[in-house]
Amino acid sequence: MALTQAVKQLQKEKQRLEAELGRITEALEALNSLGGNGRRRGKAGNGRRRPRRTMSAAARARIAAAQRAR
In angstroms, rounded to a whole number, what is the distance separating the alpha carbons of residues 8 and 2?
10
* pLDDT at residue number 53: 84
Long-range contacts of 61-70 (CB under 8 A, 24+ apart): none
CA distance 26 to 32: 10
Residue 49 confidence class, pLDDT cut points 50, 70, 90: confident
At 4-24, the pLDDT tens digits run 999 999 999 999 999 999 999
Mean pLDDT of 27-48: 71
Domain locations in the chain as residue ranges: 1-35
Overall average pLDDT of the 36-50 stretch: 62
Does residue 37 carry a pLDDT above 90? no
User: Given this model, what pLDDT does residue 36 score?
Assistant: 60
Q: Answer yes or no: are the C-beta atoms of 23 and 29 closer than 8 Å.
A: no
List, in sequence order, every residue forming a beta bridge with 43; answer none if it has no partner.
49
* Element at 23 (helix H, strand E): helix 2-32
